[in-house]
């Protein structure tokens, strides 16, 4: 889910994530979809699910001074 802080819209998003750094149960991830780019912090749970939260930004406003959005979601690992 992506919360746009400028319009206060909450929208579902499918984002492809790449793990940049992993230490214990925490990971730093970089991801993207066609609409947004995200930077998340992931927390690995005891079951095969990773909880993600972080910042998102629309591609067309990437270098503008608008506030980033808030991204939260989950990843199921097999």
pLDDT at 22: 96
3-state SS track over the chain: CEEECCCCEEECCCCEEEEEEEECCEEEEEEECCCEEEEEEEEECCCCEEEEEEEEEEHHHCCCCCCCEEEEEEEECC
- % of the chain with per-residue pLDDT over 90: 90
pLDDT, tens only, 26-49? 999 999 999 999 999 999 999 999
78 has a pLDDT exceeding 90:
no
pLDDT at 6 over 90: no
Please compute the mean of the pLDDT values over residues 42-69 and round it to a whole number: 94
């Amino acid at each position: 889910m992506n919360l746009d802080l400028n319009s206060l819209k909450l929208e579902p998003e499918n984002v492809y994530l790449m793990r940049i750094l992993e230490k214990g149960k925490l990971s730093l991830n970089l991801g993207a979809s066609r609409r947004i780019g995200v930077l998340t912090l992931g927390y690995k749970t005891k079951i095969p699910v990773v909880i993600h939260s972080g910042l998102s930004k629309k591609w067309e406003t990437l270098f503008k001074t608008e506030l980033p959005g808030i991204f939260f979601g989950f990843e199921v690992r097999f």
